[in-house]
Amino acid sequence: MTPAPTPLRRSNAATTDKDKTLRPTREEAEEAVRTLIRWAGDDPAREGLSSTPERVVRSYVEFFAGYGQDPFEILQRTFEEVEGYDEMVVLRDIPFESHCEHHMAPIIGKAHVGYLPKHRVVGISKLARVVETYAKRLQIQEKMTAQIADAIDRALQPLGVAVIIESEHHCMTTRGVHKAGTSMVTSRMTGAFRDDIQLRREFQAMAGLKP
């Protein structure tokens, strides 16, 4: 089980800008869920809902675990003994679950990540963990795509990075316009992938995508 984050207690001093960012206690979070249940029109004390606030808070610890993770620390362990390998590295079909920052509705999708090594490579599980770190936050897909690519670019300093994300946004499939079956595709290319269209096409082919 993912450990719960340590709650930050508020002081009795006058509220400052720093105080506004302090994490509420678990009890305050559970009470907020009870308020939402009452606002929806139900009774948080009834049998079927009495434990719901606790469950919701536990699930939020998992949904938003990315706030407590550092993608640059994840990418620090690299390898230089690659026997001269200088072709692109691609990890495709990385599944993820995120939540949109506008409605807190699920974003379900997959990411394709590639980079062209310069001197170092990183374990492929680390690429998946970087995707997970940014997904486990309140997000918009465009920002998440850029964050993943820029983190890899800064940490590895490769010749180029390519990231493509495909996902379904429940804020438009289960509410609002109710357009089920639609998906959103975003991309971020840096370095050689931005400059060389043939390299981009090779990445798309290796990721199983149509050029």
* Residues tagged active-site: 100-103, 141, 169, 171
Give the bridge partners for 202, in sequence order.
none
pTM of the complete model = 0.86
* pLDDT tens figures, 108-145: 999 999 999 998 899 999 999 999 999 999 999 999 99
DSSP string, 148-204: HHHHHHHHH--SEEEEEEEEEEHHHHSSTT--TT--EEEEEEEEHHHH-HHHHHHHH
* pLDDT tens figures, 58-110: 999 999 999 999 999 999 988 877 777 889 999 999 999 999 999 999 999 99
Both tokens assigned to 158: 């490769």
